[in-house]
Amino acid sequence: MGGTTDERARLALERCRGTRGAQETHWASRETRGAENAHRAGRGSRRVGEEDARMSELRYREALNLALGEELRRDERVVLLGEDIGVFGGAFKVTEGLLEEFGERRVRDTPISENTIVGMGVGAAMTGLRPVVELMTINFSLLAFDQIVNHAAHIRYMFGGQVSVPLVIRMPQGAGHQLGPTHSHCLEAMFLHVPGLLVAVPATPADARGLLKTAIRDENPVIFIEHESLYGVRGEVPDDEDTLVDFGHARVCHEGSDVTIVGVSRMALTAERAATTLADEHGVQAEVIDPRTLRPLDLDTILASVRTTNRCVVVEEGWPHGGVGANLAALISEHAFDDLDAPVARVSGADVPMPYSKPLEDIAYPHEPQVIAAALATLGLTADPGAAAATVRGAC
């Protein structure tokens, strides 16, 4: 074959970019689309994006703490329930200092019984309070599934709308801390499956604060899933305490025209780093989308991107079978089949219990190389043969 490897890769990428040239007149220019994406990224936030908006840099856990404190002050019906959330300040220090300010009546340490804690929250919500329940890890929510699925999710329906359940259940998930298979999995797909529940998966401090405030004010039960590895991550957060992030509005993290990458929870940040490498080392411009919420899902923003890039990679940390990635791949394939030039690719965690061993744990969930390899594969290009260690799958 003639030419260098770099030249062949460049020519292959140009051919991929040209396959949809005839359709370009049907779509807005990149400048117009960029403005639309910027609008979509900010439209779910009140007062976000104003010229004079003041920002502070906070850690993810500090943003959550700020949101809880603001809502406790704003509405006396808001109460916090959970194991060690009072005196100890929470397993990840999210509720630190709130007991001292609001007292035991509104910040309540509970027994070690997840089914009881959530049941208390359901009953309190039905009788007029707005409880925020903290579970130490998402794996422990399995002990409360009866209360979450059979009661919190369905009571409004069973009572014909006469009773609502304004309940928030906060819980962290995710690997990377050598906590083994009973503390490290990503189980958002289990809650996504249940009608009656809203599911939020914030990836940034600003979204953590804005989405949590929105969740507390909502009349429906909200599963609010944080990530253990994000608690120490810093980011800009608006100073205005009235700033909310609406459910059902995705965030376009990184603009691009060659491939769409949808990253769920922490994987949104992984996808952003992968997009930077794709641009710097491969000349591939990836558009990265963070859904922010899985129920409701902003499918329109994802489809608009796919109709421009004609390729898509979905990245999640959870298991590959019946997961969020499988659901998104199916939706994209159903609604944008004629726009796709390659099967929707999925990058997920390995189909195994999470190992305790650090080297094994590291290869059991996705990193940038797997995302890069999947994105290049949709373009008919190849990366370093040793890059893909986690699960990389294609879906029709």
Catalytic choice (71, 114, 255, 316): 114
Strand partners, 55: 238
Which has the closest alpha carbon to 115: 130, 131, 133? 133
Report CA torsion sign: 71, 199, 132, 186.
Answer: negative
Cα–Cα distance between 215 and 70 in angstroms, integer?
13
104: annotated active-site residue: no
Cα–Cα distance between 390 and 345 in angstroms, integer?
13
CB 350 within 8 Å of CB 392:
no
Cα–Cα distance between 84 and 111 in angstroms, integer?
9
77 three-class SS: coil
Strand partners, 314: 262, 346
249: annotated active-site residue: no
Catalytic choice (62, 134, 151, 183): 183
Cα–Cα distance between 115 and 357 in angstroms, integer?
31
* DSSP-derived secondary structure for 150-199: IIITTHHHHTTTS-----EEEEEE-SSS---TTT----HHHHHTSTT-EE
Q: Which residues contact 183 (CB under 8 A, 6 or more apart)?
A: 137, 139, 177
Question: Hey, how many other C-beta atoms are within 10 angstroms of the C-beta on 95?
Answer: 26
Q: Which residues contact 317 (CB under 8 A, 6 or more apart)?
A: 174, 175, 186, 264, 265, 266, 267, 348, 349, 365, 366
Catalytic residue numbers? Answer: 114, 183
